[in-house]
Every structure is written in structure tokens, then in C-alpha cells.
């Protein structure tokens, strides 16, 4: 979880980008890194595996405000997408403050997306983390491809929502990013909450910062 550096008056928060292999996690981080001012970012570190890379770097956002006089520094990580690197996935999740699940929108990647989402829930449970109570955002990447699945189908498979037992939150809540949609709603008489979602084209950067800002704001909300 977040760590406070009293000497530099910074709160350090860990964001992890999770998802299937080659879905766009690395592309997200590389785009963010290129766009963040060199004065506000740390060094990007890449750990190469046989088939992909795990990246992490930190940056100090300049437009998200302070928390009780402390600046917020975000450390961004990706996890290996391949199943046989699960030990690394679990290690990177330790101490996480917010998660972005990057799904590959291609229809033929549906099973890989579902497998990776289930793996995320399983790994979080092993640490005693409840994903439904942590800042969590879903990104549907590669929306520019002709074989991209419908958002409704992706939502049904990956982000159907979870039962909401807290009566204080059981009220229709608009999705601030999608007109006419809701984050909290009733389904067959049961109150359900969904994670915010974003569409993206990682290679061009479309939706990349929208996703980052959303999860960062959710993290700051938990700290305030």
C-alpha cells in the first residue's frame, strides 16, 4: 500500500497494469513515459523475459493536487502477460494501490482476457486484497482494429459488476465517462457495481491518459 516519505513530503503510490500478453500494457507505459516531463519522472526500468518485457517507472504528477500537504508520486508497473510468469505477477502486485486491467479487444483474445482477469482475482485473494474495494479501472485496448469485439460483449465477459451489499452505496450512480450508463445499478433486483472502463488505442495514445487519470483519482480519494 501507499508509503509516506516525510523527508521529501511525498506519498508514494503503486499502480499496476495487468492483463493478457501483448494486450497493450507496455504500450500504455511507454506512451505515458514519453509524454511526462523528464523533470517529473524517474528512470524507466525494463526486465526482459523470453517473450515480453516488464516495465516500471515512477512519476510525480503536477495536476492532481496534494494530500495534507504531501505531493503524490505514482510508481507504474506492468506484469508479464504469460501464465508461466505468474510468480512475477504475484510479486509485482504486492503493496498495490490501484490496478488497470488492459484487455485486448480482439474477439479471438476473449478467452485470454477472461483467464487473465480470473488470475488477477486469484492472485489478489492470496494477498488478502479485495479487488472490489481497491481502485480498479478496466481499459479496452486496440479499439481501432476491425476484429474488435463490441463493448457490451467485453463488459459482459470482463466487467459484469459485483453485488453491492453496502446499503449506503445502493443508489443509481451515473458513469461520469459514459452518458446514459451507470457504475451502480440494479440487476434483477440486486444492486451491482461495475469498475469504470475506457476505450483506448495504445499505439496512438487515445484513452491512455484518461485511464491513468481515472485510476489515479480513485487512489487519491482513498488517501484523502
My answer on whether 48 and 117 are in the same domain is yes
Q: What is the pLDDT along the chain (224 residues), one digit of tens a residue?
A: 677 777 788 899 999 999 999 999 999 999 999 999 999 999 999 877 666 677 788 887 766 667 778 889 999 999 987 766 788 888 899 999 999 999 999 999 999 999 999 999 999 999 999 999 999 999 999 999 999 999 999 999 999 999 999 999 999 999 999 999 999 999 999 999 999 999 999 999 999 999 999 999 999 999 87
My answer on whether 184 and 130 are in the same domain is no
Buried b vs exposed e over 84-103: b needs ≥16 C-beta within 10 Å? Answer: ebeeebbebbeebbbbbbbb
- The number of beta carbons lying within 10 Å of the beta carbon of residue 65 is 11
Domain count, the chain: 2
My answer on whether 120 and 215 are in the same domain is yes
My answer on whether 175 and 200 are in the same domain is no
Structure confidence at residue 59 (pLDDT): 83
Q: How far is CA 17 from CA 26, 89, 214, 223, in A?
A: 8, 10, 13, 20
My answer on whether 181 and 129 are in the same domain is no
My answer on whether 187 and 92 are in the same domain is no
Domain that holds residue 100: 3-159+196-223
My answer on whether 84 and 176 are in the same domain is no
My answer on whether 124 and 142 are in the same domain is yes
Asked if 169 and 183 count as a contact pair (C-beta separation under 8 A), the reply is: no
Asked if 157 and 125 count as a contact pair (C-beta separation under 8 A), the reply is: no
My answer on whether 140 and 169 are in the same domain is no
Quote the pTM value.
0.93
Question: Longest Cα pair distance anywhere in the chain, in angstroms?
Answer: 52
CATH of the domain at 17: 3.40.50.300
Amino acid at each position: 500500500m501507499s508509503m509516506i516519505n516525510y523527508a521529501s513530503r511525498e506519498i508514494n503510490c503503486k499502480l499496476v497494469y495487468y492483463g493478457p500478453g501483448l494486450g497493450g500494457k507496455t504500450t500504455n507505459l511507454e506512451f505515458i513515459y514519453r509524454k511526462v516531463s523528464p523533470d517529473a519522472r524517474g528512470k524507466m526500468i525494463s526486465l526482459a523475459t523470453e517473450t515480453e518485457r516488464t516495465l516500471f517507472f515512477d512519476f510525480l504528477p503536477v495536476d492532481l493536487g496534494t494530500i495534507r500537504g504531501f505531493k503524490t508520486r505514482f510508481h507504474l508497473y506492468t506484469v508479464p502477460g504469460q501464465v508461466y510468469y505468474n510468480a512475477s505477477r504475484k510479486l509485482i502486485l504486492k503493496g498495490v494501490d490501484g490496478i488497470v486491467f488492459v484487455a485486448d479487444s480482439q474477439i479471438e483474445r476473449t478467452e485470454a482476457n477472461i483467464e487473465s482477469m480470473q488470475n488477477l482475482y486469484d492472485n489478489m485473494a492470496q494477498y488478502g486484497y479485495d479487488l472490489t474495494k481497491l481502485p480498479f479501472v478496466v481499459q479496452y485496448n486496440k479499439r481501432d482494429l476491425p476484429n474488435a469485439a463490441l463493448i457490451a460483449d467485453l463488459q459482459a465477459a470482463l466487467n459484469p459488476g459485483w453485488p453491492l451489499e453496502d446499503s449506503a452505496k445502493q443508489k443509481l450512480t451515473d458513469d461520469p465517462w459514459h452518458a446514459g450508463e451507470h457504475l451502480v445499478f440494479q440487476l434483477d433486483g440486486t444492486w451491482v457495481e461495475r469498475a469504470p472502463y475506457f476505450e483506448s488505442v495504445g499505439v496512438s495514445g487515445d484513452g491512455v491518459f484518461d485511464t491513468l487519470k481515472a485510476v489515479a483519482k480513485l487512489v487519491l480519494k482513498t488517501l484523502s
